[in-house]
C-alpha cells in the first residue's frame, strides 16, 4: 500500500489503517514531510515493513539526506531512483544504515520493449539493488502482457516489482504478484491514490478472491 501523508500525525494514522487492512508493505511517500520530521516515530515497533520513497523535486543533496534519514530511522526499504546522482554510494550508505534498497525506474510517457526492460534491470542490479522496480505507462492493453512476461522470466533472478501505470495498466498492477512480482501497490481508499491507475486494497483483494487467488 502507498500513502502520501502531509505530516507525521497523518502518516501514523494512515500506517495504522494500512496495517488494519492487512497490507504486506506500506510505502510512505516522504514528498510532503518536512526534512526534519522524526521518522523514527513512524518506524518504531512496526510489524509491517515500511518503504521510504521521496518523489519531490528537491536538490540531490537534500534528496539523498532524506533517504539516508529514513534508512537510519528504521525503514526496512528505501527507494532510490535509477537516475539518482552517485547512486552506487547512496545505495552503499542506505545498506550500511540497515535498510534494503529498491532501485526504481519510471517511464511516465509509454511502454518499453523486452529488450529495453532487460537493459534497465541489468543496470539496477549492477548498481546494487536488493529489489528492482520498473514501472512504465500502458498505452494499449497488450503492454500489460509484456510486463507480466518480463516479470515471470526474471523473478527467480532477483526480487522485482514491475507493472504499468494508467487505466490500461490495471491488469499488470493486479497480476504482477501472481507472475512472481515481489509486491504491487494499492491505495487505502478511493481519492488517496499516489499514482494513475492505482486500485484500492479492497478492490484488489476482491479481485483476487474472485479469481481464486486469495
Question: Could you state, in order of their start, the residue ranges of all structural domains in the chain?
Answer: 1-103
Structurally, at CATH architecture level, domain 1-103 sits in Alpha-Beta Barrel (3.20)
pLDDT in tens, 30-88: 998 987 889 999 998 898 999 999 998 678 889 999 999 999 999 999 999 999 989 99
Q: Is 106 marked active-site? A: yes
Backbone angles phi, psi at 83, to 5 degrees: -85, 0
How confident is the model at residue 213, as a pLDDT?
Answer: 84
Beta strands in the chain (DSSP E): 2-3, 26-29, 50-53, 77-81, 100-106, 131-137, 159-165
Residue 51, beta-bridge partner list:
27, 77
First to last CA, the chain: 17
Catalytic residue among 58, 95, 106, 159: 106
d(CA 152, CA 87): 27
The set of long-range contacts for 199-208, using a CB threshold of 8 Å and a minimum separation of 24, is 199/170, 199/173, 199/174, 201/1, 201/18, 201/21, 201/23, 202/21, 204/173, 204/174, 207/174, 208/174
C-alpha cell at 198: 492505482
Q: Is 63 marked active-site? A: no
Catalytic residue among 63, 76, 100, 133: 133
How confident is the model at residue 58, as a pLDDT?
Answer: 73
> To the nearest 10°, the Cα dihedral for 54, 57, 60, 61?
-70
How confident is the model at residue 59, as a pLDDT?
Answer: 84
How confident is the model at residue 164, as a pLDDT?
Answer: 98
Q: What is the pTM of this model?
A: 0.94
Q: Which portions of the chain are predicted below pLDDT 70?
A: 57, 214
Amino acid at each position: 500500500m502507498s500513502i502520501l501523508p502531509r505530516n507525521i500525525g497523518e502518516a501514523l494514522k494512515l500506517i495504522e489503517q494500512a496495517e488494519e487492512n492487512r497490507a504486506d508493505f506500506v510505502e510512505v511517500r516522504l514528498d510532503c514531510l518536512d526534512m526534519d520530521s522524526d521518522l523514527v516515530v513512524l518506524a518504531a515497533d512496526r510489524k509491517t515493513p515500511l518503504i521510504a520513497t521521496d518523489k519531490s523535486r528537491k536538490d540531490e543533496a537534500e534528496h539523498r539526506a532524506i533517504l539516508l534519514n529514513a534508512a537510519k530511522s528504521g525503514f526496512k526499504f528505501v527507494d532510490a531512483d535509477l537516475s539518482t546522482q552517485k547512486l552506487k554510494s547512496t545505495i552503499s550508505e542506505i545498506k550500511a544504515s540497515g535498510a534494503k534498497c529498491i532501485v526504481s525506474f519510471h517511464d511516465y510517457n509509454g511502454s518499453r520493449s523486452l529488450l529495453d526492460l532487460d537493459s534497465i534491470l541489468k543496470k539496477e542490479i549492477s548498481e546494487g539493488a536488493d529489489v528492482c522496480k520498473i514501472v512504465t505507462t500502458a498505452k494499449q492493453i497488450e503492454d500489460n502482457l509484456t510486463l507480466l512476461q518480463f516479470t515471470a522470466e526474471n523473478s527467480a533472478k532477483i526480487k522485482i516489482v514491475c507493472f504499468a501505470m494508467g487505466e490500461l495498466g490495471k491488469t499488470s498492477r493486479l497480476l504482477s504478484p501472481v507472475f512472481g512480482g515481489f509486491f504491487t501497490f494499492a491505495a487505502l481508499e478511493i481519492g488517496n491514490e499516489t499514482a494513475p491507475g492505482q486500485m484500492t486494497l479492497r478492490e484488489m483483494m476482491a479481485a483476487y478472491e474472485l479469481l481464486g487467488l486469495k
